[in-house]
Amino acid sequence: MTNSEQDKQNVQDSQDDDYMTMALPDVSSSLLSTRQRKIHAQKEKGINKSYRERERERREEGLRFSLMDTEKPSKAMNMMFKMGYTKGTALGQGCTQSRIEPLKNKYPQE
């Protein structure tokens, strides 16, 4: 073999080695960092909130105002007012002598 043929052979060998020893990046860390970047960007924009976050916001919004303060009361509210309901109290008879402790068992268990 001549020098030029040996050079060509060496070039082919080095190219084959590069192909066979291709180093792949670590996929798990890149996926994790990509996911974290997406979540951070969504939080900054305030979109695509999780189901629990949206549920909590809806609950808080619903608890901010009273159903008693609506301009036009419903039929159910009118009926409750006729039964004696007033804002801030409970329906039914007020009882001051209610039991604090549960009833004791008269018959001991074996």
Would you state the pLDDT for residue 56?
A: 92
Identify the residue with better confidence: 75 or 9. Answer: 75
Taking the C-alpha atoms of residue 12 and residue 18, their distance in angstroms, rounded to an integer, is 10
Query: Can you read off the two tokens belonging to residue 9?
Result: 């052979």
pLDDT for 108 beyond 90: no
Query: Can you read off the two tokens belonging to residue 19?
Result: 């192909």
Taking the C-alpha atoms of residue 87 and residue 80, their distance in angstroms, rounded to an integer, is 10
Would you state the pLDDT for residue 49?
A: 74
pLDDT for 80 beyond 90: no
Taking the C-alpha atoms of residue 48 and residue 57, their distance in angstroms, rounded to an integer, is 13
Q: How far is the CA of 103 from the CAs of 95, 98, 99, in angstroms? A: 18, 12, 9
Helix ranges, the chain (H): 3-20, 27-45, 51-63, 75-82
Would you state the pLDDT for residue 55?
A: 94
Q: What is the pLDDT of residues 3-60, one digit of tens each?
A: 666 666 655 555 555 555 666 655 555 666 787 888 888 777 777 777 898 899 999 9
Residue 14 near residue 7 (C-beta atoms within 8 A) = no
pLDDT for 1 beyond 60: no
Would you state the pLDDT for residue 101?
A: 77
Closest CA to 74 of 64, 85, 63: 85
Query: Can you read off the two tokens belonging to residue 80?
Result: 């409750």
- Any idea where the domains of the chain sit in the sequence? 32-64, 70-98
Identify the residue with better confidence: 15 or 97. Answer: 97
